[in-house]
Structures are given as C-alpha cells and as structure tokens.
C-alpha cells in the first residue's frame, strides 16, 4: 500500500498544526482522506523556491505551491530587504496583477503584507500589463514593485515577479540579497498578514494616461499613420491584460480600423479558447487569424496574459498568412527604428541597441551599418534593463529585444513591453503600406540588404532522475571535446560564458567576455553560423539556439535559400543532439 515519505508527512503535520487558515487545513485533510499521495508529495516535498526573478508554480495548498503563504513569505522577505536597504526612508512599492485565477486575491495578500510592514503600496485597481508595473515603479518613485503573473504558462500556474527601484527585474547583488531574506523566514508566524489600509493607495487611470502619453512620444511616422489610418488590424489579448492598454494605445496612435477578437477580450484565467496562452504558438492565434481572413486584414497581433510579449502574423506575397518568429519581428522593429531615426537626423553616435547573445546577429549587422552600438547581454530581459539603467542619462536607447518575442522601444520602462511593441509594429505596417509595400516585403528586402538569417530554437529533454546529470555531462563533453565543424563548416571561435573566455581555434588567442558567468557555450563557424548551448535552470532540458546565414541578391531567391538554411540547421542539430 502506498504511503507518504516521512519528511513529506512531517511537513504536512506542520501545516495541519500550524497557524494556517482552516480552509487550507480542510483541503489538506481531504487530500489525505482520499489518499492523494502523489499530489500531496509534489505539494510538500520541498519549498517553492524564490529564485532570482521571484516565484512561479502551480496554485494549491502546500509549501511547493502558489498560495497566500508562499506569496506571503516572499513578500515578507522582500519587505525585510527593502527596510534594510532603505533605512529611515518612506518605502513605496507598486503592485499589479494579470488575469490569472486568484491573481486579484493573492495581490491583496501581497499588499497586506507590505503595508503591515509600514510600506506604502500603490495598488492597481484591476489587472494591468507587466510593463505598466515597471513604468509605475519609475513614475511614482518606488523602491520596489511586484507583478503577479505566470506569463504564458498553463492556467494552473501563477507567479510573483519582483522589481527594483529602476523598474527592472532584480539583478545582482539585489536578487541574491532578497533570496537570502526570503530563506531566513522559517515559520508562517514570521509573516505579518495584518494589512494597514491607510498605507494602500489605489491607482489606475491616471497612471494609464501617463504611460500612454509616453508611448505616443515614440511614434516616428505620423504622416504614414494619417495616410493609412484605416489599416486593418486584428488584435487579441488572449484573455489577458493586453485588453486594457493595447486598444487605447492603437487609438491614440491614430489607427481607426482595429478589430478585436471578441471571445478573447473576455478576462478569463482559464484561457478557454486556447491550449496555451502563448503568442509564439499558431494555435493561440488561430481565432485572430480566422477573423483576419474573413475581413481581409493587413496585420494580426496577439499578446500574452501579462502583455510583455507579442506575436504577429502577416500576409506573404501569395496572400497566405504566416507567423513571424521572435527574431524576425525584433529585427524588423530595430531596422525600422534605425531607418526612421536616420531620416529624422536623430543619429549622432550616442544611441545604442541591446539584445541577448541568443538573439539574431542580423541586428548587430544592421546596427553597425548605421554606426549605432549594439550591446549583447546574457539571456533574460532583466540584463537588458540593467544595461539601460547603467547608460541612463549618458547614452540614448532606441530599442532592444530578445528572440522569445519580447521587445522594448523607448526608455519609459525597464522590461519587455508588448503594448509599445504593438503600436510600433502597427506603425511599421502603415509605413510600408504607404510605400505600396508590406511587412513581409520589408523582411525580405532587409535580407537582400544585410543577408538572410535563419534561426531556430531546439530543446532537448532528458527525462528521468538522471536528466540533469546527463545535461551536465553534455556540457562537460562540449567543453572538453568541442565539435571541430558544424553544418559542413569548421568551428573557428568558441565562447564559454561560464569561464568568460573567447578562444580563436586557429590562432589560439583568447579574450575575456565582459559578462557575468553563465553556463552557456557558443560555437561560431567560419561561414558565420552561431550555435549556442544553454541548459535550462529549472528543467532537465538543454536548449540549442541555431543561427545560420547566407546572402541573396534579389527577393526571388529568398524561398530557395531559406530552405537551404533550414536544411543546414537540421544537419547541425543532428550533429549536436544525435
């Protein structure tokens, strides 16, 4: 007969006998009576870990679940950090949440714990996008912020993302310092849940309007929008926070023909119309695409539940709808912004672009052609935000992004922003349509000008208890026995971000990589292919980011060369993953 591990049973007893509410105890008791041992084991075998970005997990009772006690612990730890970091100051935080089930009630718990600790709380009146939380932290002079979201995870999940005073996600050394404060809390009795209503200030429309005003300032093609104000746009928030700000942002930009996917404008944490609320997936955009086909639209856009990432679809030259990947959309945005800034005479050598090391190096090539610095950071938008804060007041940020569908235009926030991305993408479409072109044609013409880049992310999962060890062994083997060639081209440079060294294979010369240590390897071949190997920090999975490129003289060559490059990626993946 199945039974519970003694350590799990001990943790369950602590909850049954501790200072937890009766509903929580009743739910645990019911699981025990029904002998739901697997569920109980997963819920109690460990504590939900507060990582460098916060918490994320499945909702439910237990120490390894998202609930008022795990979020309460995180908030108390964050409060302790803020009070130590800003002694004798009036500490202020902003709190926002997305559409997920329980987000509103959990946000109230977070507000209660902060206010119980004497911290002034700016509390959004309803669901709001993650980028607006970043904006509010900066606009209201807060020392911190929290948004409750699990991004594009399935409906069972929720999360707690912590932000610093610059409006960016916590980075070193502050991330580790907050983690340490959270880990110090060993009892629920150390959490002060008795909120002080006098310290909670409700915010909403006023901050919305200030945020939207900042977005309007970023427009660079007002004449094109005025000429193409009837551009047919289909938008879906996929039941999430994009519904709050994307439609008014498009309206403020001057777009008058926006069709909203009615069924997905409904706020619903169960995401009933999609399998996953992930705009990277064609399935999540299927209703928007159906609508676009019916009305012969020009552009389809959809944002994830917390509206920090956006997926788009455009028509190719045959009139077929295709989804652009994250690299393609990000490169189009940056190419467009650089073109517009140059035409406006705004490029004076003090501007810069930021991207991550696994995002298309076509962006580097384009930025270089305009004489604009392109900085590469480790994977994660928090590193882009960190660099922006470092350069604030010294250099001018134009735009940045990462291959996972997250982009930022302008300096109003320190996180990826699907709201500003959506209006700039719409403006791009208007700009090219005003020249009797399209976003698809702009993409191909960009390839003609700078070279065609084809990228693909391939994740290899190693199942079972030995999965993590297998991946460690793979990385060790790559370091000790690196591939001599990939895709038929010799490997010429190896970048090891863990040892922070770059080595030229032919000369043996080494250089230091000026980035924090991270378990990532990059192999660069003589013909310009870049292959990055990066283990996941949370799953028995290793990710391979493959980027290959070639040149095309005319747009007519695109399909043929793109197919060749895809076949080359197939070959590289066979060589790497077996």
- Residue 446 and residue 468 share a domain: no
- Residue 364 and residue 235 share a domain: yes
DSSP 411: S
- The token pair that represents 137 in the structure block: 């932290």
Residue at 499 is within a domain: yes
- Residue 378 and residue 268 share a domain: yes
- Residue 443 and residue 459 share a domain: no
CATH number at residue 75: 3.40.120.10
- Residue 251 and residue 175 share a domain: no
| pLDDT reported for residue 464 | 58
- Residue 463 and residue 396 share a domain: no
- Residue 476 and residue 437 share a domain: no
- Residue 464 and residue 437 share a domain: no
Residue at 546 is within a domain: yes
- Residue 436 and residue 301 share a domain: yes
Catalytic member of 79, 103, 134, 151? 151
Euclidean distance between CA atoms 360 and 452, whole angstroms: 11
**Structural contact between residues 369 and 450, judged by C-beta atoms closer than 8 angstroms:** yes
CATH number at residue 490: 3.30.310.50
Residue 93 lies in domain: 46-203
Q: What is the pLDDT along the chain (578 residues), one digit of tens a residue?
A: 467 888 999 999 999 999 999 999 999 999 999 999 999 999 999 999 888 788 999 999 999 999 999 999 999 999 999 999 999 999 999 999 999 999 999 999 999 999 999 999 999 999 999 999 999 999 999 999 999 999 988 999 999 999 999 999 999 899 999 999 999 999 999 999 999 999 999 999 999 999 999 999 999 999 999 999 999 999 999 999 999 999 999 999 999 999 999 999 999 999 999 999 999 999 999 999 999 999 999 999 999 999 999 999 999 999 999 999 999 999 999 999 999 999 999 999 999 999 999 999 999 999 999 999 999 999 999 999 999 999 999 999 999 999 999 999 999 999 999 999 999 999 999 999 999 999 999 999 999 999 999 999 998 887 755 777 888 899 999 999 999 999 999 999 999 999 999 999 999 999 999 999 999 999 999 999 999 999 876 567 899 999 999 999 999 999 999 999 999 999 999 888 65
Peptide linkage before 63 cis (omega within 30 of 0): no
- Residue 500 and residue 430 share a domain: no
Max CA distance (Å), the chain: 76
Quick check: is 485 catalytic?
no
Residue at 19 is within a domain: no
| pLDDT reported for residue 578 | 58
Domain end among 398, 418, 450: 450
In the chain, the number of structural domains is: 3
DSSP 272: T
Domain end among 450, 475, 510: 450
Residue at 251 is within a domain: yes
| pLDDT reported for residue 459 | 87
| pLDDT reported for residue 1 | 42
Residue at 375 is within a domain: yes
How long is the chain? 578
Domain end among 450, 478, 510: 450
Indicate the pTM of the whole model.
0.96
- Residue 479 and residue 561 share a domain: yes
Return the HEC string of 300-328: EEEECCCCCCEEEEEECCCCCEEECCHHH
Residue at 62 is within a domain: yes
- Residue 351 and residue 334 share a domain: yes
Residue at 67 is within a domain: yes
In sequence order, which ranges of 398-438 are alpha helices (DSSP H)?
Answer: 418-433
Residue at 37 is within a domain: no
DSSP 460: E
DSSP 141: T
């Amino acid at each position: 007969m199945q039974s519970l591990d003694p350590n799990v049973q001990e943790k369950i007893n602590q909850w049954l006998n501790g200072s937890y509410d009766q509903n929580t105890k009743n739910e645990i008791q019911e699981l025990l009576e029904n002998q739901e041992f697997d569920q109980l084991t997963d819920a109690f075998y460990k504590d939900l870990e507060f990582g460098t970005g916060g918490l994320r997990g499945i909702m439910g009772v237990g120490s390894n679940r998202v609930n008022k006690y795990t979020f309460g612990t995180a908030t108390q730890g964050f409060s302790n950090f803020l009070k130590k970091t800003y002694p004798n100051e009036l500490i202020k935080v902003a709190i926002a949440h997305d559409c997920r089930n329980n987000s509103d009630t959990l946000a109230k718990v977070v507000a209660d714990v902060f206010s119980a600790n004497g911290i002034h709380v700016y509390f959004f009146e309803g669901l709001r996008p993650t980028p607006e939380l970043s904006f509010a932290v900066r606009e209201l002079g807060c020392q911190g912020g929290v948004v409750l979201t699990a991004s594009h995870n399935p409906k069972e999940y929720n999360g707690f993302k912590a932000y610093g005073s610059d409006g960016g996600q916590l980075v070193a050394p502050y991330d580790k310092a907050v983690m340490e404060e959270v880990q110090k809390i060993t009892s629920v009795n150390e959490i002060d849940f008795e909120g002080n209503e006098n310290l909670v200030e409700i915010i909403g429309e006023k901050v919305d309007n200030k945020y939207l005003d900042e977005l309007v300032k970023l427009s660079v093609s007002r004449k094109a929008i005025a000429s193409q104000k009837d551009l047919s746009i289909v938008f879906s928030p996929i039941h999430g926070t994009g519904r709050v700000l994307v439609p008014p942002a498009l309206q403020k930009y001057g777009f008058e023909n926006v069709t909203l996917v009615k069924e997905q404008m409904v706020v619903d944490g169960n995401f009933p119309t999609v399998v996953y609320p992930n705009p990277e997936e064609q399935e999540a955009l299927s209703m928007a695409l159906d609508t676009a086909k019916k009305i012969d639209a020009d552009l389809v856009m959809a944002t994830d539940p917390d509206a920090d990432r956006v997926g788009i679809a455009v028509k190719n030259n045959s009139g077929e709808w295709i989804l652009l990947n994250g690299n393609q959309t990000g490169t189009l945005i940056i190419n467009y912004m650089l073109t517009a800034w140059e035409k406006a005479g705004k490029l004076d050598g003090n501007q810069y672009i930021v991207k991550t090391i696994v995002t298309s190096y076509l962006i580097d090539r384009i930025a270089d052609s305009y004489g604009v610095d392109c900085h590469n950071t480790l994977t994660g938008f928090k590193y882009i935000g960190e660099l922006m804060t470092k350069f604030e007041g010294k250099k001018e940020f134009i735009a940045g992004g990462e291959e996972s569908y997250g982009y930022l235009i302008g300096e109003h926030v320190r996180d990826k922003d699907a709201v500003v991305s959506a209006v700039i993408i719409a403006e791009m479409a208007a700009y090219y349509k005003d020249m009797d072109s399209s976003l698809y044609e702009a993409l191909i013409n960009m390839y003609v000008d700078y070279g065609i880049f084809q990228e693909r992310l391939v994740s290899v999962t190693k199942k079972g208890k030995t999965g993590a060890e297998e991946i460690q062994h793979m990385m060790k083997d790559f370091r000790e026995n690196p591939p001599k060639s990939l895709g038929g081209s010799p490997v010429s440079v190896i970048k090891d971000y863990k040892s922070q060294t770059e080595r030229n294979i032919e000369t043996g010369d080494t250089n230091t990589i000026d980035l924090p240590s991270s378990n990532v390897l990059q192999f660069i071949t003589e013909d310009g292919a870049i292959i990055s190997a990066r283990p996941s920090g949370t799953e028995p999975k290793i990710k391979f980011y493959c980027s290959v490129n070639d040149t095309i003289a005319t747009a007519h060559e695109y399909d043929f060369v793109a197919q060749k490059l895809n076949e080359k990626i197939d070959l590289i993946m066979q060589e790497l993953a077996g």
